[in-house]
Chains A and B, each alone.
Chain A
Amino acid sequence: AQSVTQLDSHVSVSEGTPVLLRCNYSSSYSPSLFWYVQHPNKGLQLLLKYTSAATLVKGINGFEAEFKKSETSFHLTKPSAHMSDAAEYFCVVSDGAGNMLTFGGGTRLMVKP
């Protein structure tokens, strides 16, 4: 069984300040973990993925995430928020075969000018 908990349903930051979106997971397997972004009326887009290589994963648009097994966490960060980062972000855990994805409830990121 696997599950994902996104600790904040909404996060608001000012443009140019750091972003932190929190995610904790539970998995019976050695997990694969992903962050997806969903802009309004757009399809889900992969930001980055962790598949048991380096624990610090760099993704698109300046985002990165660190896998911490001891804390069962996979938090998403970005040093400086842009207005275009405003969207819904989903933390996702995959089963061992990479077929079944389980999504968290999502975090809506708002960026203030």
Chain B
Amino acid sequence: GAGVSQSPRYKVAKRGQDVALRCDPISGHVSLFWYQQALGQGPEFLTYFQNEAQLDKSGLPSDRFFAERPEGSVSTLKIQRTQQEDSAVYLCASSRVGSGELFFGEGSRLTVL
């Protein structure tokens, strides 16, 4: 596609529910990143894939967070048993490997009640 596509754009979940956020990167981009952006703050790194391999997941805040990219293209970020502190915008970005220039999607805004 022309850009990075994320869905859903908005998600409201009750505390304790599981959610899944989808990212469709730019075609041919090997690298894929997930970031979490809390209100009024800069994005914080969650995890990084190169093709289907998850090379870095040091930013995932707890074992309730899980990301996958099984075929090296679309990625899903799953949050189990959501908590209020998980409320944030989740940003996906893709790039050519090592370019440093990330192309971001518009994000998925998660609100946990």
Contacts and interface: CB of A to CB of B under 8 A. Distances in A.
Q: Do A and B come from one complex?
A: yes
Interface of A: 32, 34, 36, 41-46, 49, 51, 90, 94, 97-106
Interface in B41-59: 41-45, 48, 55-56
Contact of A94 (B41, B43, B100, B107): B100
Contacts of A100: 45, 48, 56
B91 interface: yes
A11 to B, nearest CB: 15
Q: Which 9 A-B pairs have the closest CB atoms?
A: A98-B100, A103-B42, A44-B104, A43-B104, A43-B106, A98-B98, A94-B100, A105-B42, A106-B42
B41 A99 contact: no
A90 B93 CA distance: 15
B109 to A, nearest CB: 9
B15 to A, nearest CB: 25
Contacts, number: 57
Contacts of B44: 103
B43 A90 contact: yes
B98 A97 contact: yes
B88 to A, nearest CB: 14
B42 A101 contact: no
B48 A99 contact: yes
Given A46-B102, A99-B55, 17 more contacts: A36-B104, A43-B91, A43-B107, A44-B102, A45-B104, A46-B101, A49-B100, A99-B48, A99-B100, A100-B48, A101-B100, A101-B102, A102-B45, A103-B35, A103-B42, A105-B41, A105-B42
